[in-house]
Amino acid sequence: MLIFKIFRADEWAALQQAGETAGAPVDLADGYVHFSTAEQAAETAAKHFAGEEGLMLLACDAGALGAELKWEVSRGGAKFPHLYRVLRMRDVLWARPLPLENGAHRFPEEMA
């Protein structure tokens, strides 16, 4: 199962440069890296990244992240994947731009 992380351009660049990251400021504050499922990603983008350009969508294999990936109840009672370790470049299967079109982010077809 693929899960997804949205990063701003500078956060994505930092991951590429360092090879790993503890995440965005919200991840650092909460103590884990926030992910979304394919079904949750658009709502996550609308809620936390509304109107932002220059975003990147990263895909990771949930099964390959190991025991540090926990599914925890969050927004609206839904379970979200949270990674309790650094995210490494080798965890990222692919990364795609998340363009803003008519006020909403357009997600890539390979999310399905």
pLDDT of residue 36: 97
Q: What does the pLDDT profile of the chain (112 residues) look like in tens digits?
A: 999 999 999 999 999 999 999 999 999 999 999 999 999 999 999 999 999 999 999 999 999 999 999 999 987 889 999 999 999 999 999 999 999 999 999 999 888 6
pLDDT at residue number 74: 85
Q: Does the 2-99 domain belong in CATH 3.20.170.20?
A: yes
**How is the chain split into domains, by residue range?**
2-99
Q: Determine the pLDDT at residue 38.
A: 96
DSSP assignment letter at 1: -
Question: For residue 42, what is the enclosing H or E element?
Answer: helix 38-48
Looking at residue 75, what is its pLDDT? 73
**How much is the pTM?**
0.95
Nearest to 24 by CA among 46, 2, 56: 56
How confident is the model at residue 110, as a pLDDT? 84
* Residue 111: per-residue pLDDT: 80
